[in-house]
């Protein structure tokens, strides 16, 4: 059977490259297709195409651009099954549960919401003599660099607000999940003017060329903190504004007044949605000694009841780790925890057979200083640290260099809010974790990046303020 060769989209045209690379199914190891390795000249051509059409796109009315977004939402809806199957095959998350169908549904919602929002002129100051207005104008060309964990949803977060506000986009998908992203861009181009949305695929080198390209005015990146630092360096060449959503290593604190059975589902999916391969997953769980054993028992029951396997098979709700690099990192951290004599309640060893399968793993009797606690594992392994003193738990939760999300679990709303106010994170959830919403700003602090996405604040992040100051006496 011949292998499909996928294409990039530049100025509305399908673009191939002389060199290609293989994309794999992480559940089976099979080759899904060949992906173009974009050249530096192709990256420059994509930026030039976006630059050339940006003034005309920005000149459209808000209502016209909203209309285009609604057309794109319809394209996503019409192709939901096709795109979801591609995501399952290439990323690994199952079709069922909070998997690939859920991801495409999220793409539709995160397209419709920016189309519903307004950015009216704001009055900064006005008196009898003057009026100062804040107008929101496009930045220009947005370079979007998408990750492999939620390849279409996060791409949507980057693309749709940018297009809504009059920018044009060049997107580089992760080299691990290129096919589904390239296909989404191809489909969206069936309703867009040529050049408004373009793609370039390839290794990290391609991302570097795109980030530093002259003509790029804004960079949106979701990924690791180490790559985020390289993005900042690259932006010095073109003075592009930057939004970074980087690593999390989120902490959750469980207070002694909870009902373990009632919070177990929230803790489980807060930790293991997408096999823990989500920036805002619980990566460190601090549980008060009074409920520690009961919480662990409830989580263990859920872990045993969740079917894992090839996500195309009916009933499967947990899939493989997406790529071998991440798989090996998880194994390394687990082996280190074993050397520290941590207790493995379940899991702890890679599954035999094809694919990057690692079982849900709960680890107790682990020191807070262990690598598995201090380093973001980004996988299906959860270290559970017992505490007796709440102040110490908060101190442990805050004692990392990242701060994306965090959560507090308690039946006492007042105490939960007090703890939430002391936790260092861009978002602190109470009795839930990772429950993002398209109307609610989301972003990190410390080395988890800067800038926000979603809602009106997310739209403002892909615009620049233009002040019009009026002398009333002469107006």
Could you tell me which residues come within 8 angstroms of residue 187 by beta carbon, excluding any fewer than 6 positions away? 75, 76, 79, 83
295-313 burial, b at 16+ Cβ within 10 Å, e below that, comes to: bbebbbebbeeeebbbbbe
- 219 plus 290 within the same structural domain: no
Query: Which residues, in sequence order, are bridge partners of residue 15?
Result: 8
Residue 121 in domain: yes
Catalytic residue chosen out of the listed positions 90, 103, 183, 245: 245
CA distance 245 to 224: 8
Residue 12 in domain: yes
Q: What is the pLDDT of residue 1?
A: 61
Q: What is the pLDDT of residue 18?
A: 97
CA distance 7 to 12: 12
pTM, two decimal places: 0.97
- 213 plus 313 within the same structural domain: no
Residue 184 in domain: yes
Give yes or no for a contact between 138 and 466, defined as CB atoms under 8 angstroms apart: no
Residue 299 in domain: yes
- 285 plus 168 within the same structural domain: no
Q: What is the pLDDT of residue 2?
A: 79
Q: Are strands 31-36 and 122-126 parallel, antiparallel or unpaired?
A: unpaired
- 390 plus 269 within the same structural domain: yes
Query: Which residues, in sequence order, are bridge partners of residue 383?
Result: 363
Residue 440 in domain: no
Which of 147, 152, 28 is closest to 101 using CA atoms?
A: 152
CA distance 246 to 229: 10
Q: Give the angle 194-198-201 at the CA atoms, nearest 5°.
A: 150
Residue 122 in domain: yes
- 12 plus 119 within the same structural domain: yes
- 239 plus 301 within the same structural domain: no
- 379 plus 458 within the same structural domain: no
Which value, in Å, is the radius of gyration of the alpha carbons in the chain?
23
- 310 plus 176 within the same structural domain: no
Residue 410 in domain: yes
- 193 plus 321 within the same structural domain: no
The CATH number of whichever domain residue 371 belongs to comes to 3.40.309.10
The CATH number of whichever domain residue 178 belongs to comes to 3.40.605.10
Which of 263, 254, 356, 333 is closest to 302 using CA atoms?
A: 263
- 267 plus 228 within the same structural domain: no
- 306 plus 365 within the same structural domain: yes
Q: What's the length of the chain?
A: 475
Give the range of the structural domain holding residue 460, as residue numbers without chain letter. Answer: 8-246+448-467
Give CA torsion, residues 219, 222, 225, 227, to 10 deg.
-60
CA distance 73 to 4: 26
Residue with tokens 């009059």: 166
Q: Is 279 a catalytic residue?
A: yes
CB atoms within 10 A of CB 396: 19
Catalytic residue chosen out of the listed positions 10, 107, 279, 281: 279
CA distance 56 to 49: 12
Q: What pLDDT tens digit does each residue of the chain (475 aa) get?
A: 679 999 999 999 999 999 999 999 999 999 999 999 999 999 999 999 999 999 999 999 999 999 999 999 999 999 999 999 999 999 999 999 999 999 999 999 999 999 999 999 999 999 999 999 999 999 999 999 999 999 999 999 999 999 999 999 999 999 999 999 999 999 999 999 999 999 999 999 999 999 999 999 999 999 998 999 999 999 999 999 999 999 899 999 999 999 999 999 999 999 999 999 999 999 999 999 999 999 999 999 999 999 999 999 999 999 999 999 999 999 999 999 999 999 999 999 999 999 999 999 999 999 999 999 999 999 999 999 999 999 999 999 999 999 999 999 999 999 999 999 999 999 999 999 999 999 999 999 999 999 999 999 999 999 999 999 999 998 7
Q: How many domains does the chain have?
A: 2
Which of 360, 363, 398 is closest to 276 using CA atoms?
A: 360
- 257 plus 233 within the same structural domain: no
Residue 154 in domain: yes
Could you tell me which residues come within 8 angstroms of residue 348 by beta carbon, excluding any fewer than 6 positions away? 334, 338, 359, 361, 363
């Amino acid at each position: 059977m011949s292998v499909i060769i996928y294409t990039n989209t530049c100025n509305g045209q399908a673009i191939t490259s002389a060199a290609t690379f293989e994309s794999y199914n992480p559940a089976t190891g099979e080759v899904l297709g060949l992906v173009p390795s974009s050249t530096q000249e192709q990256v420059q051509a994509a930026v030039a195409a976006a630059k050339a059409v940006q003034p005309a796109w920005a000149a459209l009315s808000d209502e016209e651009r909203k209309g285009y977004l609604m057309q794109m939402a319809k394209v996503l809806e019409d192709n939901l099954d096709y795109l979801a199957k591609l995501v399952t095959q290439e990323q690994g998350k199952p079709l069922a549960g909070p998997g690939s169908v859920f991801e495409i549904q999220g793409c539709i919602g995160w397209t419709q919401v920016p189309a519903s929002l307004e950015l009216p002129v704001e009055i900064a100051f006005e008196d009898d003599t003057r009026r100062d207005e804040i107008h929101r104008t496009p930045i220009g060309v947005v370079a979007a660099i998408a990750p492999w964990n939620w390849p279409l949803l996060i791409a949507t977060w980057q693309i749709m607000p940018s297009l809504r506000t009059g920018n044009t986009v060049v997107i580089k998908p992760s080299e691990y999940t290129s096919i589904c992203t390239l296909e989404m861009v191809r489909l969206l181009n069936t309703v867009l003017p040529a050049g408004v949305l373009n793609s370039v695929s390839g290794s990290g080198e391609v991302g570097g060329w795109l980030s530093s390209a002259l003509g790029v005015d804004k960079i949106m990146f979701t990924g690791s903190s180490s790559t985020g630092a390289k993005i900042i360096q690259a932006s010095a060449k073109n003075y592009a504004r930057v939004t970074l959503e980087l690593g999390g290593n989120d902490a959750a604190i469980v207070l002694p007044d909870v009902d373990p059975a009632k919070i177990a589902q929230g803790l489980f999916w807060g930790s293991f949605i997408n096999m823990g391969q989500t920036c805002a997953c619980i990566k460190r769980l601090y549980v008060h000694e009074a409920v520690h054993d009961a919480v662990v028992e409830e989580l263990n029951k859920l872990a045993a009841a969740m079917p894992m396997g090839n996500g195309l098979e009916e009933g499967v709700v947990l899939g493989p780790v997406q790529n071998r690099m991440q798989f090996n990192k998880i194994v390394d951290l687990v082996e280190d925890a074993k050397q520290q004599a941590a207790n493995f309640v379940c899991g702890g060893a890679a599954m035999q057979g094809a694919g990057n399968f690692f079982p849900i793993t709960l680890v107790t009797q682990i020191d807070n200083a262990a690598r598995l606690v201090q380093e973001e594992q980004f996988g299906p392994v959860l270290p559970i640290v017992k505490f007796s003193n709440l102040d110490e738990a908060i101190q442990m939760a805050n004692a990392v260099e990242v701060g994306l999300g965090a959560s507090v679990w308690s039946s006492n709303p007042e105490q939960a809010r007090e703890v939430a106010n002391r936790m260092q994170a861009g978002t602190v959830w109470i009795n839930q974790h990772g429950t993002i919403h398209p109307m609610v700003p989301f972003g990190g602090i410390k080395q988890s990046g800067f800038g926000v996405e979603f809602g009106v604040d997310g739209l403002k992040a892909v615009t620049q303020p233009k002040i019009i100051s009026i002398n009333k006496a002469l107006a």
